[in-house]
Structure 1
Amino acid sequence: MELIDIGCNLTHDSFDADREAVIDHARAAGVVQMIVTGATEQGSTQSLELAATRPDVLFATAGVHPHHAEDVGADTLSVLAELHRNERVVAVGECGLDYFRDFSPRPAQRRAFERQLELAVDCGKPVFLHQRDAHDDFIAIFREFRPQLAGAVVHCFTDTREAMLEYLEMDCHIGITGWICDERRGRHLKEFVHEIPADRLMIETDAPYLKPRNMKPKIKTRRNEPQWLPWIAGTVAACRGVTPDQLARETTATARRFFRLTD
């Protein structure tokens, strides 16, 4: 199988001691390409720097997560715009709204989201979206920009079937993480993940977060890694009634097309 991890936070400090080995382990497990998530101005810069060390294997996003929305001013937007001049940066984000944590005031989150959607329109790249407990405000803002956007993927989707269908109606892609492997929180996803069209579905680890809980034998670490993407792929494949090989072919083709990746 050849898999693509469309969202992994490889610049996270939990990888500082063994980052190169983590990438090598992922490659050995069949994860042929990885997109390194940028969630702050500094993190986006670091994501591009890391991606440049592994041509054709690593790519990057550049954006500011809603947790850091208060940091999005003219200077940060200028830095992001410059990063997006680089072809290795393949999407704007991670951006969106998060009313679950509310680490930034909601008005600041909405302003930062709008500014980054404007950036995506200007640079012609798709958006890598985050939404948690903010569906109505998120949709209201996103709907205004959607016709002008090159593409959109709702990263780490954990919401309801109704929300998923609304995103699909707006021609969005859906990113599924190890949340679906969680027998406590991910059970509902298993019931409708088969309804996502094959050309709209992608998979991701969101490493170092959301380690799949269904891995056997159990691995004694809380840190998630891209090498465990096959576990997510296997779970999604079973829910969709297809083989892991078919799921890998479909999601890999979709990711390459969406992010315009070279193989």
Structure 2
Amino acid sequence: MELIDIGANLTHESFDRDRAAVLERARAAGVVQMIVTGASRAESPKALELAQQHPGFLYATAGVHPHHASEYTAECDAEIRALHEHAEVVAVGECGLDFNRDFSPRPAQRRAFEMQLQIAADLHAAGRTKPLFLHQRDAHEDFLAVMKNFDGQHGPAVVHCFTADKRELFDYLDRDWYIGITGWLCDERRGAHLRELVKHIPHQRLMIETDCPYLLPRTLKPLPKDRRNEPAFLAHIVEEVARDRGEEVALTAARATAASRGFFGLPGAV
């Protein structure tokens, strides 16, 4: 199987001690390409740098997660725009709204989200369309309202690490957005509802991700002692999703890989 991890926080400090080994384990587990998430002013340049060190294997997003929205100044906006001049940066984000923890004030979150959507709109208008890598938690109505202001001004969008309910899922599918599924599905305490919901996601809209080092699949046996998630565990998530969808693992993997490659405009694996 060829797998693509569409959300890997490989710049996280937990990978500093063994990042090369993590990448080798991912390759050995069938992961042929990964999207390194740029989620802050500091981490987005690091995501690009990492992608440049591994051409054809790693790609990057560039954006600011709502947790860091308070840092989204005009200078930050210029820096993010400059990152999007690089071909290795294949999506705008991670951006969106997170009212679950409110690490940044909600007005700051909305402003940062809108400014990043404007980057996507400007790229689209210039004929250099890049997809949106979106985050939403406990902010559904506000999230849709902000997105509505940019209808028709951007390329495809994925709501990454989807964890919500059927209503929210269908709202996104009705807008032709893609859905990213993580190991949250493997959490019997919080994610059991996703096992039914993944059946409703059209295969051409379904992508799979680890969101590592977070969201270690709880059904993984044995669990690593450090409880760190990594891209090599993507295969396990694919197996779980395939079982819940009533599909052969190879079919789920092939479809998710095709959807991911088309969404991000990736070439064939090197």
**RMSD (Å) for aligned C-alpha atoms:** 0.7
Cα offsets for 1:113-164 (capped at 9, x unmatched) = 0000000111221110000000010011012213211110000000001100
The whole-number CA distance in structure 2 between the counterparts of 1:229 and 1:218 is 14
Alpha-carbon distance in 2 for matches of 1:127, 1:248:
22
Q: Report the residue type matching 1:25 in the other structure.
A: R
Kindly report which structure 2 residues correspond to 1:14-53, keeping only aligned pairs within 5 A, or say none. Answer: 14-53=14-53
Residue 260 of structure 2 corresponds to residue 244 of structure 1: no
Which residue, out of 184, 194, 213, partners 2:218? 213
Paired AA for residue 108 in structure 1: A
Q: Is the CA contact (8 Å cut-off) linking 1:146 and 1:170 kept in structure 2?
A: no
Map of 1:45-194 to 2, 5 A cutoff?
Answer: 45-123=45-123, 124-194=129-199
Runs of at least 4 residues of structure 1 off by over 2 A?
none
Question: Aligned partners of 1:145 and 1:194: how far apart in 2?
Answer: 29
Superposition deviation, residue 219 in structure 1: 2.6
Does residue 229 of the first structure (1) align with residue 260 of the second (2)? no
Check whether the contact 1:96–1:131 (CA below 8 A) recurs between aligned residues. Answer: yes
TM-score (normalizing by structure 2) = 0.96
* Matched residue count: 263
**Separation of aligned partners in 2, 1:80 and 1:148:** 19
1:32-72 deviation digits (Å, cap 9, x = unpaired): 10100001112000000000011110000000000010111
Please state whether the residue corresponding to 2:152 is helix, strand or coil.
helix
Task: Quote the Cα distance in structure 1 between the aligned partners of 2:105 and 2:162.
Answer: 23
Contact 1:11–1:43, Cα closer than 8 Å, also in 2: yes
TM-score of the pair, normalised by structure 1: 0.99
216-225 or 120-129, larger mean C-alpha shift: 216-225
* Structure 1 Cα separation of the partners of residues 222 and 41 of structure 2: 38
Matched, 1:6 2:6: yes
3-state SS of 1:238 partner: helix
Question: 1:171 deviation in Å?
Answer: 1.1
Q: How far apart, CA to CA, are the structure 1 residues paired with 2:216 and 2:130?
A: 29
Q: Please, which runs of 5 or more residues in structure 1 have no aligned partner? A: none
The code of the aligned residue for 1:259 comes to F
Deviations 1:79-128 (A, max 9, x none): 11111011110000000000001000000000100000000111221110
Cα offset for 1:21?
A: 0.7
